Amino acid sequence: MRRLTFAFRDGAVELVSEQRVEMRLPARSAPRVAAARAEFWYELRNAQSDVLYRLDSADPIPTDVEVFSDDPERTVERAPHAPQEGVFTVLLPEIEDAEEVRLMRAAPATEGAVDVRAGAAEAAVEVGRFRLTEK
């Protein structure tokens, strides 16, 4: 397995640590329903840019926060707020031909957007692209 640690600050993402770890991937949860849309994912790619592995994930760089009210009639709401800095880690499988990892975020939902599992290209924004160094 590869443990990749990323840091973000003021909109920029940096790969700060790459380690090999001896462990097995945890058991996967049930696959998403075909209509579900991943909000964030990691791609391991080879030298030809072919996707070798994709891991769907919750977005590790939050864009909103929970806001609570003193009013007992109101529920918790989400408010836009992007943290200025933070760190997150991901575990990815060891794949011999993997040359880089790409961090991808779903583009904001628009009319006519199609999910990749439905057989068409998913609208996405590349958050970062990082060359793997541990061989």
- Kindly list the domain boundaries of the chain, sorted by start residue: 2-25+35-131
The mean per-residue pLDDT over the stretch 102-114 comes to: 71
The mean per-residue pLDDT over the stretch 33-39 comes to: 60
Residue 21 contacts residue 5 (beta carbons within 8 Å): no
Question: Where residue 18 falls among pLDDT bands split at 50, 70, 90?
Answer: very high
DSSP 39-97: SEEEEEE-TT--EEEEEEE--SS-SEEEE--S-TTS--EEEE---SEEEEEEEE---TT
DSSP 120: S
pLDDT of residue 131: 96
pLDDT of residue 120: 37
pLDDT of residue 70: 80
116 pLDDT above the threshold of 50: no
95 pLDDT above the threshold of 60: yes
Question: Where residue 119 falls among pLDDT bands split at 50, 70, 90?
Answer: very low
